[in-house]
Structure 1
Amino acid sequence: MRLLNWKGPSLAVFLGSLSALRNVHAIGQATCVSFNSSPSVFSVVSGGRSAPLFISENEWSGVQRAAADFASDIEKVSGISPTVSNVTSSVKSSATPIIIGTLGQSSLIEAVVNHTKLDVSSVSGIWEAFMIKEVANPLPGVPKAMVIIGADKRGTIYALYDLSEQFGVSPWYWWADVPTTPNSEISISSSGCSHGTPTVKYRGFFFNDEQPALQNWAMEKFTNGTGAALTGSPFNHFFYTKVFELILRLKGNYLWPAQWSSAFGVDDTQNQPLADWYGIVMGTSHEEPMMRSIPVEWGLFGVGPWNYSTNSQNIYDFWVNGTIRAKPYENIFTVGMRGDGDLPLSETTNIAVLEKVISDQRQILMDVFNETDVTNIPQMWALYKEVLGYYDDGMRVPDDITLLWSDDNWGNMYDYVGDPRDYKWITSTQMAKTFDQLSQAIDREATRIWIVNVGDLKPYELNTEFFLTYAWNSSLWSFDNLDTFVSKWAQREFDLPLDTANEVASIMTNLTRWNNRRKPELLNGTTFSLTDYREAENVVSDWEALLNASTKIYCSLPSEFQSAFFETVQHPILASSTLGKMWIAQGMNNLRISQARLSANDLADQVEQLFERDYEIETEYHQLLGGKWDHMMDQTHVQYFYWQQPMADTMPPISRMRTQKQALPGAMRIAPEGTAAAWPGDNPNQCAAGDSCPPTDNHSRLFCSFELALYRYCEGSVSPSNPEVRVEATVDWSQVTGVQMAQINFNATVTGQPSESTPAYFVANHTVAPSGFKGFVEGDGGVSIEAAHASRNTSVAGITWTELPDYGKTHSGITPWPRTGNDFNNFTAGSGPSIEYDFLNFNTINDGGNVSATLLVSPSLNSMGPDRPIKIAVQIDDQTPQTVAFIPPSAPGTLPPQWDGNDGFVANAIVSVVTNWSAPPGAHTFKIWMVEPAVVVQKIVIDTGGVRPSYLGPPESISL
């Protein structure tokens, strides 16, 4: 999911017994709804009757429409359909009504305020605020009413949808098929609910890279198969009205429409007026200035080249027409200019030309709107790719134009689908990472416009809702309670008890953690180590455990909830685990082939089966609910060849052993853990020569514990049907003093052949920590520490290294918090907040008294500016701290060369910060100092001479 941050100078079946048990699971809202009836609450539905809904005839049409949704939502929950009436202040009612209206627009609300002297100061003039409150004698002849008042059109709409969600209607009732739990009684507390202005003024999402999934689905569901006359696009008003309602239910207000092969204003002439009627503010992307689609509309209506230096009048007229078309509606106009087809402008374009572009565009706005003050017309300029370079080179625009600071396509704010790979298939964005980056925008008061690229929208439901919920009210959320967002979501969507909802939260955390370690589109057979730390095996085990946990909940759900759970939880886990296991099986197949091991054939079978299973899962999704979501998982995702999506899913290459012919080394090969080598016979990983190598020696790297079984005889068998056996040994440490070696002989007897014997040698090193030592102890050639597991933590200027739970690749992260402390200033090495780790080493690199220390740090761009690159300082004992600026500088509008690439910073989701130290065997302290804010450290690995390559780093060492 791409994050873009903007900165600015059916009838329910009654189950009456549930009424007293059902809880409200609305997310991020002040709760004022209950499901019982008493004199202390206002009854919306009770005793088979519903309160009528009153609204004035002169109310906003979008509010009228939302009121109809509100009535429908009440019916979904209770089975009772309330009447919706346009009334005047002279209405008489024997029932207690719900009065709905907008300040300054509704004559009915005006009459209520005048008649009761109701205090509306908390909402009056407050952008998108609302209040809900029981009022006595609101109008003559009306004894009491629940009054719903919005400060403006969307304020009233949000109030209605806020209550609907509390009643039990999910915002995703259509888009994720979430059932509504029935209740025969619905009440609102007399004091009601309220909400002030949202944290972010304009907040919404962007459909982008919407082919093949979203476009194919919409073509089937909303057209006769031909699409729009001029563009062929399926994105007509039948599609978009579904989108508009979802955005409003999620408390959003802003949309960038689908752009590739589509043009919002051309595809359907009802698109623009209906967006405004619903209450949605429309915008366009970085390459679509003045509410016109590029390249589609320019290809249809443009004259000459898209070059303002040589063809300014035709482009100017093109923009004038787009502005006239958009004038009647609520919009944010994108200004500036990029090249046709999302490319940079021509090399001859300079700052002066772009400044003239924006000046001319602002003149168009004033002329078309007959406006002398252009600042009254919302505008934004996208600092995207090379355009950021113009800004850094000194180009400026008037302060009323909101500046867009785009992320890097991987959720790292400041600077697009592109290198190193696009990732449009499945949910893979960690909520903790999203929070980290968006909270930085809050800290920097970048709260005028937020928009997120949701691709095809599904299957990004949870992440999309979090983005908009945080933008609605950021004050409610912190690193410490992000898990409650997911558990509340699970309770709301699937009517789960809290303990099961917490399980779902854990499941979703692990799903996105494991998919974000390395995006599924970037996986290959050797991503995870096939030989060291049992890394690949553990990844497979983790996926299987996660799928088992999800499947258990899925199977326990009532059938009406299973579709929603499948779409949002089960399918992403099924699909992700299948792909992940397929790639590991492919890597193991290739390894086994190199080792001349017959088990390679079984692994080849696994790859083929998992590749076919991948398509079966896609088909299962498409057949759900009679094919409602057919095509929505069309996105190809298996075996990329460059950054762009593959044109077809293709199975990764596998090999097979000839079963009829024995391998040259004989019937048995021994492959010690920790090496790609195998004995007897030749293998390039045995020794430098690759042939005539000695038996297994230190290449085995087997320092794992084993039982000394020199006098015990064990036997087993292998065959084509059972081609390999894992032999494990343990150590009885009471029998080991110091360093001792054991030899195990593997003897094989094969009918008609000479017997075979292959020795393996193992070393047991019985090391003991000094009495009283507390900290991490070296094992297997190094010390590995999760950054959150510190020995001591020292604050400076109110800033403390703070854990970010569930962040990163293995456990969590730590960061100096709050970021705003010390007025965003930095520290010199050794003067800022510090965090310490005690460790004990027995060895050093090549016995030379030195170690290397690697910090595994989250990729983060130099968001404080080129003069303050992101830095951190580290220290061992009392040696001089070493300061490292770990993100290299780059030219304006570009990224560091190490950032992209298939093994770059973002592909690996980590930056390795390496320092070297003197650390003779003994107890030491490793210290991290804050220098700049926003650094996130995940893990520390201290190499004492035996740390082996792995993707996730060595497992955490033992701590005493």
Structure 2
Amino acid sequence: MKSLLIFFLLFPQLLLSQIQITNHVKSDTEYFPIVQKKSAVNIYIDENDLTLVQKSASLLANDLDRVSGIKPNLISGGDQLNGNLIIVGSIGKNNLIDKLIAENKLDVSSITDKWERFIIQTIEKPFANVPQALVIVGSDRRGTAYGVFTFSKNIGVSPWYYWADVPIKKNKELYIKKGRFLSNPPSVKYRGIFLNDEDWGLHPWASKNLDPKLNDIGPNTYEKIFELVLRLKGNMLAPAMHECTKAFFTVPGNMEMANNYGIIISTAHCEPLLYNNASEWDKKKQGEWNYATNKEEIIRVLDNRVKQACNNDNIYTIALRGMHDEGMKADSEEQKFKLLAEAVKDQRAILSKHIDKPLTEVPQIFVPYKEVLSIYEQGLDLPEDITIVWPDDNYGYIKKLSDKKEQKRKGGSGIYYHISYLGWPNDYLWLNTTPPALMYEELNKAYSLGADKYWLVNVGDIKPGELGMQLFLDMAWNIDEFNFENINQYQVKLLTDIFGNQYTTDISYILNRYYYHGFTRKPEYMTWDFRWNSLFSRDSIKDTDFSFANYNEAEKRLRDYNSISKKAKTILESLPIEYQPSFFELVYYPVKGSSLYNHEMLIAQKNRWYADQQRSLTNSLAIDVKNYKDSLALLTQHYNSLLSGKWNGMMTAPGFLPEEQLPPTKQIELPNTSEIGIYVEGQKSDMIDQLQIPQFSKYFQSSYFFEIYNKGRKPFTWKAELSDDWIRLSSTNGEIITQERINVSIDWNSVPTGQSVNGEILITSGKINEKLIVSVFNPESPTIRELSNLFVENNGVISISPADFNRKNENGSIHFQVIEGLGYSNSSLQLGHAKFDDGAESNVDYDFYSFSSGSATIFIYSLPIFAKDKEHSIRYGIQLDELDYITQSNDVEEYSMNWANNVIRNSAIDTVKVFLDKPGRHTLKLFCEDPGKKKKKVIIDLG
């Protein structure tokens, strides 16, 4: 059978054809042979071309060797031109390319003098003795590199071949379909990653594996990272900067390696002019890092750094904060403003002193992070050519973007985003659970409001945030490829391109549920504590809000995790052996790790709950908790031992976080007898006079349960007697060793009509009799059909999914967008796009039916986003029937307790008190007002 591998690279903006690579052709007329008959075409580079171009050509030769087993020769002399060629070079730096341009055989007008563009083109008879050439030409050195790595990806070399162990797709022969392929311009000019919180993963791993002589992160590590960034079409890196790591510019070879790979070095928000005070500043020798009292010494070290680094490609952070990530030292807010204004002028003077070009051509950024934002908003005079980089709140929600005046600044704006964070109110350093839909929502909003100059993402240790890192950089390269309709399938496509399309359905389901549960509560937050509080202490582990008593919340969560873990394991075990490490790293470990940790925390909670009821299963659950913890340790150990220990140390835990400790469990003494206990679903206390099953409603026809459990060591028998034959039980008798769950349902064909139809279940065990009340709401009217398009009250609550509105009224530029992948029902509703200003006259309607009247509380759950700029809020309107219009706002102050609760649960919750004058049909309206809000859920509690 003919074997054909076709990889697609689409350029939507220019509507050009696709790159096609195949390993078999019937005729050479339509295809250019790359490797044929155990011979690879030579790669030509100009010896005078830039270092990165030569490095890229060398990596291309290695890639072809990895794929085919045949390594092409690299040639640079004109005398060696004989036979087909691959020509790699940049405009004005490669003599053959320049000759082709001069002879009108290669048209580069579309990329000349453009930023990071490339063309891949086949040319017939370009030179004497050269029948055909494949030209990879860039507008600049990185443009050439991107052309090379685009080609490499299409022949089967993943950008993640090293960092995620994605296998190389092997082919003995390779051909490319002839044609011309033109890259799109990058959406964002500067695109990169920030290595952070490296203390427990990247640093110890690199110290032992790549830079053991330095016992640190050094040039060997950075070479691997730089290559990865380039292959993902990034161009910038902010180096690791914690105290455990030597500052980037102090390690010999680091700067040279960055230059070799054409990587622009940026720094964190707290590192002025490339200087890392966390590891470089010596307080004993240099005094306090205090601009008010020690300005001369601070200027001296900044001057030395710029003098040392100015010949490399850098982006200079204009900043003044405290040590590392601390706030600025000052006696007052007024002094902070004055000192920062001074620092801006002083740092620009240093740049002018050492860099021989106008300041307007020197890339500079200003990051209004944490307390710096309030100083900036007091009216800081920031020169127009400095790029403002707007940070998120460390939890994925961008705090502010440029207003209309700021959008006109010459320096433009950018963003600093997190998919990993260490700090208050809680850390997430372990797993990447930032949903693709959230990342797209925030980044697309930023881009639409002019933030297209600089995008930096905090990736922690890179692993295991590979998928999030690639998504960020892919959006930075071409944001137009993404929308709310395809965003949740993007990572699915990345994975199925590696592991096979036969897994599309299962991988889609796995990622959907993984992100859903991680967004509802990150695994790292399952301890339900705050940390890094004002006392620098950590709270103790608490019970979660996931209930075993109400709506089966905890059990549904664990069942879902079991389901996706099982599917992931099935895929893992079905893959060829060479693909298993990569799938383990990218999918199985995050999914199974999340599952085991959720089980550990929730089963510990269940153990404590059971202990309060004196259930005989209590002690067994305590053993289960320990087993889940041990299983997670073994899973992590397996990760560290993959591929002969390649990643040993990368998944090492810090050792001091609450989630690493065994959660508290209880042991109870059981009598050597038997004793019956009964728990009814939703029961809030054991101290109640009458057990009652939640009311059944004909409009929902749910089932409920009760549990019979043992409080002793000896078994007992039980039986149930029913007052009416319309009551159905999954079991009516049995023997209880530990416990049994019995499901209760209603035979709707035989239950009498009535507002409150009551029956009883009598449970008998020996001399013990317990009565359970069964209540059914089965009115004659309205009929189920009459309420089919309404949200209907059930047990005093009306639950509304905002995406399921009955009607919408869109005015002008305001449109309502359903966003899949965010929300309690896994969807939410965007009330207009943030790039527009006024949505007051646009609304969505929700029709609901209540069986009661009186006071009610409406709970509105929203994505906890910030207002888009200082001129706007995040207001919305709410109106019940024809009652008064109420304006609500999700505005919160960052670092307040309201904000902390919001980001931990990924929800801002508003409450509105209303009065329903009568039972029956009502309409709730939500009005847009300030566009951009996302509504996740609405609950009407009728008390």
Q: Structure 2 length as normaliser, TM-score?
A: 0.88
**Would the aligned equivalents of 1:126 and 1:196 in 2 still touch at CA under 8 Å?**
no
The amino acid that maps onto 1:124 is T
1:912-927 correspondence runs (5 A): 912-919=909-916, 920-927=918-925
Q: Deviations over 1:566-623 (max 9, x none)?
A: 0010010110000111111111111111112112122212111111111111111111
Name 2:683's counterpart in structure 1.
675
Name 1:906's counterpart in structure 2.
903
Name 1:6's counterpart in structure 2.
none
Name 1:696's counterpart in structure 2.
691
**Residue 878 (1) aligns with residue 882 (2):** yes
In the alignment, which of 771, 782, 789 is matched to residue 797 of structure 2?
782
* Distance in 1 separating the partners of 2:608 and 2:70: 63
* Distance in 2 separating the partners of 1:881 and 1:180: 61
Deviation at 1:313, TM superposition (A): 1.6
Measured at CA, do residues 766 and 27 of structure 1 come closer, stay the same or move farther in structure 2, by a change above 3 Å?
Answer: farther
In the alignment, which of 390, 395, 409 is matched to residue 394 of structure 2?
409
Measured at CA, do residues 647 and 273 of structure 1 come closer, stay the same or move farther in structure 2, by a change above 3 Å?
Answer: farther
Deviation at 1:819, TM superposition (A): 3.5
Name 2:481's counterpart in structure 1.
476
Aligned-residue sequence identity (percent) comes to 29
1:624-643 correspondence runs (5 A): 624-636=642-654
In the alignment, which of 492, 506, 509 is matched to residue 487 of structure 1?
492
In the alignment, which of 451, 458, 462 is matched to residue 453 of structure 1?
458
* Distance in 1 separating the partners of 2:364 and 2:284: 24
**Residue 657 (1) aligns with residue 653 (2):** no
Any unmatched runs of 5+ in structure 2? 401-420, 528-542, 706-720
In the alignment, which of 4, 23, 48 is matched to residue 6 of structure 2?
23
* Distance in 2 separating the partners of 1:671 and 1:26: 59
Deviation at 1:522, TM superposition (A): 1.5
Q: Deviations over 1:907-946 (max 9, x none)?
A: 111111222333321122222211112200112222233x
In the alignment, which of 508, 512, 530 is matched to residue 509 of structure 1?
512
Measured at CA, do residues 513 and 246 of structure 1 come closer, stay the same or move farther in structure 2, by a change above 3 Å?
Answer: same
**Would the aligned equivalents of 1:872 and 1:884 in 2 still touch at CA under 8 Å?**
yes
**Residue 804 (1) aligns with residue 819 (2):** yes
Q: Deviations over 1:24-63 (max 9, x none)?
A: 1669897312213342122222333322111111111111
1:232-381 correspondence runs (5 A): 234-260=216-242, 261-266=244-249, 268-299=251-282, 303-348=286-331, 349-371=335-357, 373-381=358-366
Name 1:66's counterpart in structure 2.
56
In the alignment, which of 104, 111, 115 is matched to residue 116 of structure 1?
104
Q: Which has the higher contact order (CA 8 A, sep 6+)?
A: 1
1:690-729 correspondence runs (5 A): 694-697=689-692, 705=703, 709-710=722-723, 715-719=732-736, 722-729=737-744
Name 1:92's counterpart in structure 2.
81
1:690-769 correspondence runs (5 A): 694-697=689-692, 705=703, 709-710=722-723, 715-719=732-736, 722-734=737-749, 735-738=751-754, 739-749=756-766, 755-767=767-779, 768-769=781-782
Name 1:836's counterpart in structure 2.
845
The amino acid that maps onto 1:32 is I
In the alignment, which of 6, 10, 20 is matched to residue 33 of structure 1?
20
**Would the aligned equivalents of 1:674 and 1:702 in 2 still touch at CA under 8 Å?**
no
* Distance in 2 separating the partners of 1:322 and 1:706: 69
* Distance in 1 separating the partners of 2:241 and 2:859: 44
Corresponding residue SS for 2:103: helix
Corresponding residue SS for 2:852: coil
Deviation at 1:410, TM superposition (A): 0.4
* Distance in 1 separating the partners of 2:157 and 2:910: 48
Measured at CA, do residues 531 and 413 of structure 1 come closer, stay the same or move farther in structure 2, by a change above 3 Å?
Answer: same
* Distance in 1 separating the partners of 2:99 and 2:786: 78
The amino acid that maps onto 1:921 is P
Q: Deviations over 1:258-313 (max 9, x none)?
A: 10122344552100111011110001111111111112111289622211222222
The amino acid that maps onto 1:259 is M
1:574-593 correspondence runs (5 A): 574-593=592-611
* Distance in 2 separating the partners of 1:350 and 1:526: 41
**Would the aligned equivalents of 2:807 and 2:844 in 1 still touch at CA under 8 Å?**
yes
The amino acid that maps onto 1:910 is S
1:119-158 correspondence runs (5 A): 119-158=107-146
Corresponding residue SS for 1:295: helix
* Distance in 2 separating the partners of 1:209 and 1:26: 35
Deviation at 1:478, TM superposition (A): 0.6
Measured at CA, do residues 116 and 325 of structure 1 come closer, stay the same or move farther in structure 2, by a change above 3 Å?
Answer: same
The amino acid that maps onto 2:151 is L
Name 1:935's counterpart in structure 2.
933
**Would the aligned equivalents of 1:91 and 1:141 in 2 still touch at CA under 8 Å?**
no
Name 2:148's counterpart in structure 1.
160
**Residue 388 (1) aligns with residue 397 (2):** no
Deviation at 1:254, TM superposition (A): 0.4
**Residue 944 (1) aligns with residue 929 (2):** no
Name 1:752's counterpart in structure 2.
none
Name 1:10's counterpart in structure 2.
none
Q: Deviations over 1:803-851 (max 9, x none)?
A: 111123432111134443xxx21233xx12x22222222124xxx2x43
* Distance in 2 separating the partners of 1:295 and 1:544: 43
Q: Deviations over 1:389-438 (max 9, x none)?
A: 11111112111111121111100002672211011011211010000000
Corresponding residue SS for 1:726: strand
Q: Deviations over 1:845-865 (max 9, x none)?
A: xxx2x4332221111112332
* Distance in 2 separating the partners of 1:880 and 1:352: 48
Deviation at 1:556, TM superposition (A): 1.3
**Would the aligned equivalents of 1:748 and 1:756 in 2 still touch at CA under 8 Å?**
yes
**Would the aligned equivalents of 1:520 and 1:576 in 2 still touch at CA under 8 Å?**
yes
Say which structure is richer in strand: 2
Bigger drift between 235-244 and 416-425 goes to: 416-425
The amino acid that maps onto 2:581 is S
**Residue 814 (1) aligns with residue 801 (2):** no
**Would the aligned equivalents of 2:680 and 2:692 in 1 still touch at CA under 8 Å?**
no
* Distance in 2 separating the partners of 1:446 and 1:401: 13
Measured at CA, do residues 555 and 180 of structure 1 come closer, stay the same or move farther in structure 2, by a change above 3 Å?
Answer: same
* Distance in 1 separating the partners of 2:573 and 2:430: 25
Deviation at 1:527, TM superposition (A): 2.6
* Distance in 2 separating the partners of 1:409 and 1:419: 9
Any unmatched runs of 5+ in structure 1? 1-16, 638-644, 687-693, 750-754, 946-960
Deviation at 1:636, TM superposition (A): 4.5
Corresponding residue SS for 1:836: strand
- Please report the RMSD computed on the Cα atoms of aligned residues, expressed in angstroms: 2.3
Corresponding residue SS for 2:116: coil
The amino acid that maps onto 2:55 is R
**Would the aligned equivalents of 2:38 and 2:172 in 1 still touch at CA under 8 Å?**
yes
Bigger drift between 853-862 and 125-134 goes to: 853-862
Name 1:12's counterpart in structure 2.
none
Deviation at 1:554, TM superposition (A): 1.2
Bigger drift between 34-43 and 758-767 goes to: 34-43
